[in-house]
């Protein structure tokens, strides 16, 4: 049973447009295609603008994500990574995406080895997780508190 917080039954509402980048490694084109379709299905159920980029190798994903974060305006990122089971890239990608997320980049990630049997479910769950992260970011980003030494309005008249 899946966690209802990331369930499609309780998607967040957005009052402003959302733009998401899906970056997919095409190690296995069939699995990558299934993952992209599943993620897009979840995202397109909301008023979300989705861009998709493909990279040949999984180790190109961090560079592609960093470039897109610096040079474009995305609210969130998805990393879809089918990798071979014997690949050291599996651990490396998890580590890099963990660091990427800890830097404040809102990321939904689905990293699959060849033994994974439900790439569409993994990608859908990652898309739902990303939607909730974007909603949290907007909620907390909208909260503004007083700034340091700003005078009260009656003191500055």
- Dihedral angle at the C-alpha atoms of 45, 138, 107, 56, nearest 10 degrees? 70
User: Quick one: which of 143, 139, 79 has its CA closest to 105?
Assistant: 79
- Residue by residue, pLDDT tens for the chain (157 residues) are 444 444 445 668 888 899 999 999 987 888 889 999 999 999 998 889 999 999 988 888 888 998 998 888 999 999 998 877 666 767 788 888 888 888 888 888 888 876 777 888 999 999 999 998 998 888 887 656 666 665 666 555 5
Tokens in use for 38? 């599943």
Considering the domain 18-143 in this protein, what is its CATH number?
Answer: 3.40.50.960
Phi-psi group of 104: left, alpha or beta (phi > 0 → left; psi -120 to 50 → alpha; rest → beta): left
Ranges of each domain in the chain: 18-143
pLDDT for residue 44? 92
Q: What is the pTM of this model?
A: 0.79
């Amino acid at each position: 049973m899946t966690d209802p917080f990331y369930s499609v039954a309780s998607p967040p509402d957005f009052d402003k447009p959302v733009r998401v980048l899906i970056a997919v490694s095409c190690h296995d084109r069939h699995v990558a295609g299934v993952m992209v379709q599943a993620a897009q299905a979840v995202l397109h159920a909301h008023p979300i603008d989705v861009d998709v980029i493909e990279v040949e190798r999984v180790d190109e994903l961090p560079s592609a994500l960093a470039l897109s974060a610096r040079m474009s305006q995305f609210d969130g990122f998805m990393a879809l990574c089918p990798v071979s089971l014997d690949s050291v890239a599996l651990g490396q990608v998890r580590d890099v995406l963990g660091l990427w997320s800890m830097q404040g980049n809102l990321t939904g990630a689905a990293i699959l080895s060849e033994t994974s049997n439900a790439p569409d479910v993994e990608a859908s769950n990652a898309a739902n997780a990303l939607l909730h992260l974007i909603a949290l970011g907007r909620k907390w980003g909208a909260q503004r508190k007083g700034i340091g030494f700003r005078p009260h309005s009656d003191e500055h008249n």
